[in-house]
Amino acid sequence: MELITLHGIEKTYQMGDIAVPVLKGISLAINQGELIALTGSSGSGKSTLMNILGCLDRPTAGEYWLEGQETSQLSADARALLRNRKLGFVFQSFNLLARTSALENVAMPLTYSTENLSDAETRKRAAEMLARVGLADRLNHHPAQLSGGQQQRVAIARALINRPPVLFADEPTGNLDSKTSEEVLQMFEQLNAEDGITIIMVTHDPKVAGHAKRVIRMEDGLILDTLPAADQRRETSGGAA
Amino acid sequence: MKVYATARTAFKALRRNPMRAMLTTLGIVIGVGAVIAMMEIGAGASAALKKTIASMGANVLVIRPGTASSGGISFGAGTTTTLTPADCQAILRECPSLRNAAPMVRARAQVVYGNRNWIPNTIYGTTPAYLDVQDWGSLAEGEPFSDRDVLNGNRVCILGQTLVRELFDDESPLGKNIRIKNISFRVVGVLSAKGANMMGFDQDDVILAPWTTIKYRVSGTSLATTNQSPAATDSVNTLSNLYPTEQLALYPEQSNVQQADNPMPVRFANIDQIMAAANSSAEISPAIEEIGAVLRERHRLRAGEPDDFNIRDMAELTNTLSTTTRLMTNLLLAVAMISLLVGGVGIMNIMLVSVTERTREIGLRMAVGARGRDILRQFLVEAVVLCLTGGAMGIVLGHGGSLLVQLLLKWPVETSPAAIAAAVLVSAGVGIIFGFYPAWKASRLDPIEALRYE
Ligand SMILES: Nc1ncnc2c1ncn2[C@@H]1O[C@H](COP(=O)(O)OP(=O)(O)OP(=O)(O)O)[C@@H](O)[C@H]1O
Ligand SMILES: [Mg+2]
């Protein structure tokens, strides 16, 4: 079943008199349960595309269908609601609230949720989510008391607290060393396999992209090609040899 | 529920930087503290003032006869002899706004006790109702004279504190006899001290006696107006033999038995003034109208004829004094308000810094589904929480300050719940007004730019 459908998405930034086209007509279909890596050279428009996919930004032209709903014309409030209900975000720089416990960080999106949970329910849900990412024993730790990998897992728990069908991650391992990167990626694979969450992540690292089932390569605001992960791995290793 | 959660978030956000929150709110603390202290001290001052005015008889009305004139020459207020004790009884009976009324006859004469003498400010001939009219409370010693004493014209009197000091050297005067114009009066009571009134008039320099006694025995006149000059009423100089000023006693004084046998004939007796007390200050104006109507009817004045009496109250004096204190309080309040304003600007400043500092947090909150109005509410509530906390501390500070003033300077202070309620409202208001701009700015941020903010 198609979860996300893009039709000729364009994004042009207006810098004074000069129009800077960043996305030049992207069409794409993503099915439920996919684990996708988005790669491409720096400045190719990956983050811009992610922002549009994540309903943080609106395309200049084109259609974006999310679960059968056209979103490109929605108001800011409607998009906020959509982000809260259906979309999860993981950032390169974790973006946890400082001096706030892991539990409260994870529970934060529930504040803006339309379902009115009681305090106890909120805490229970957040604790479950933290247990899901393997941090059941770190509920009351502050971000400063957690390792980078643990912080990113708290961020993943926060992204999933509202049980969204899709998770977006813009360079989720960019600030992590290879070992903790591996932890986070295994987490993604597990969530994808066990909970059927669709994951779309941006990465520069071919090893990271290797965890994906599908790799989309971008070049200069356009999709260059879409490869199954195995092909991509072979190609990069072939290129290196 | 939602507001409660937002307030809790705000508290947490503020707790992340407690020192700064404290310093930010200092302006509000000082402002609210100053407002509370000002209000309490102001309220204390006006209460003290009200008490002083009440000691002069706050709700007292003075009814005096009108002006006599002859051949175009006016003799001044109180020169006609139109008021009678019956008028006094009539207005008390027929005016529902009046609490009490007392007829007054004034005299000025030398008072002698043993080898001491003194001329009191005034000798009032009146009824026991006078004490109630003047709010004189209980006597320091003894009992007031009775209505029977008034009816019988008994020679009894109540002394003011000044007289006790001057004539009795502070020994108890009860039961002693003093002489006023050679007439012996038994002292039955001593007034409690009232002190000087606002014009510096010693309110304790007074003798009260039944008006009948003063009228017929001391003033010795029944139809003429009382001449109040001391020289005319009495003399202590040696020329008095040459130029006798006392009225001739044509008839020998009656003994008690003779008096009882020959009750005083009913005759037209005029009095100098009537003092009446309204039930409350609000009932002063209706009382004036009622008294006017009753007296006009009793004096058979036709419509269009001018009043042959006039009625005065203390309202003007009360107004002047309370206006002055109100002016002072308002002035100080204005200064306190300015410090609140400065505190509010401080809040706005820090909230702007806070919004800039937390741009990434705002971006994040928006990314996970916060709408602009959620962010607006969060920062607004934060500012209000900050101000209310400051306000609460200010209330404690201001109240403590005014208590200290009361303790150290002995100033009268009055706790005012209205001031506390106002302080809470004002500090919440300051939070909303000065927190709005930063909160609005925060709510207008673009999530992508906010997330990218360094
Ligand atoms: N707000 C903006 N205004 C103008 N130009 C922008 C804006 N945001 C991005 N761009 C431009 O769009 C292009 C793509 O940016 P984007 O961040 O999507 O690249 P990216 O693929 O994520 O690169 P990287 O791999 O380095 O993160 C860049 O050339 C950038 O200069
Ligand atoms: Mg990028």
Whether B365 and A80 lie within 8 Å, measured CB to CB: no
Task: Tell me whether B447 touches chain A (CB under 8 Å).
Answer: yes
Give CA–CA dist B161/B141, Å, rounded.
10
- ipTM > 0.90 for the complex: yes
Q: Residue A49 corresponds to which tokens in the numbers above? A: 């595309």
User: For chain A, how long is the longest CA-to-CA vector?
Assistant: 58
- Which residues in A lie closer than 8 A to residue B376 (C-beta atoms)? none
Structure confidence by residue, pLDDT tens digits, A30-57: 999 999 999 999 999 999 999 999 999 9
Q: Which domains does chain A carry? A: 34-55+75-236 (3.40.50.300)
Whether A56 and B447 lie within 8 Å, measured CB to CB: yes
Model confidence at B150: pLDDT above 80:
yes
Domain boundaries, chain B: 2-53+320-452, 59-230+250-313
Do residues B368 and B6 touch, judged by C-beta distance below 8 A? no
Label residue A239 by pLDDT band (50, 70, 90). very low
Which of B2, B367, B372 lies at the smallest CB-CB distance from A89?
B367
DSSP string, B155-186: -EEEE-HHHHHHHHTTS--TT-EEEETTEEEE
Question: Which of A26, A46, A60 is the best mutation target for the ligand 1 pocket, counting ligand atoms within 8 Å of the beta carbon and taking the most?
Answer: A46
Do residues A79 and A71 touch, judged by C-beta distance below 8 A? yes
Task: For residue A190, give Cα distances in angstroms to A151, A207, A212, B187, B450.
Answer: 18, 17, 12, 108, 31
**A182 CA distance to ligand 1 centroid (A)?**
27
Do residues A165 and A3 touch, judged by C-beta distance below 8 A? yes
Contacts of B3 (CB under 8 A, 6+ apart): B381
Structure confidence by residue, pLDDT tens digits, A55-114: 999 999 999 999 999 999 999 999 999 999 999 999 999 999 988 899 999 999 998 988
Top-confidence residue, B344 or A232: B344
Q: How far apart are the first and last CA of chain A?
A: 39
Model confidence at A173: pLDDT above 70:
yes
Q: Which amino acid is at A62?
A: G
Structure confidence by residue, pLDDT tens digits, B286-335: 888 899 999 888 888 888 888 888 888 877 777 777 788 788 878 887 88
Task: Report chain B's mean pLDDT, rounded to a whole number.
Answer: 82
What's the pLDDT at A96? 93
Give CA–CA dist B34/B28, Å, rounded.
10
Give CA–CA dist B107/B66, Å, rounded.
19
Q: Tell how far CA B446 is from the center of its chain.
A: 62
Note which residues in 310-369 of chain B have CB less than 8 A from chain A: 360-361, 363-369
Ligand nearest to the CA of A43: 1
- Which residues in B lie closer than 8 A to residue A56 (C-beta atoms)? 366-367, 447-448, 451
Tokens 């994808």, residue located: A192
Structure confidence by residue, pLDDT tens digits, B200-225: 778 888 999 998 888 888 776 543 34
Task: Tell me whether B374 touches chain A (CB under 8 Å).
Answer: yes
Whether B16 and A54 lie within 8 Å, measured CB to CB: no
DSSP state of B444: T
| Mean pLDDT within B171-180 | 89
For residue B357, give how far its alpha carbon lies from the nearest alpha carbon of chain A (Å).
12
Mark the residues whose beta carbon lies below 5 A from ion ligand 2.
A 47
Contacts of A174 (CB under 8 A, 6+ apart): A92, A203, A204
Do residues A162 and A182 touch, judged by C-beta distance below 8 A? no
Task: For residue B325, give Cα distances in angstroms to B36, B338, B414.
Answer: 16, 20, 14
Question: Which of A10, A22, A203 is the best mutation target for the ligand 1 pocket, counting ligand atoms within 8 Å of the beta carbon and taking the most?
Answer: A22
Label residue A220 by pLDDT band (50, 70, 90). very high
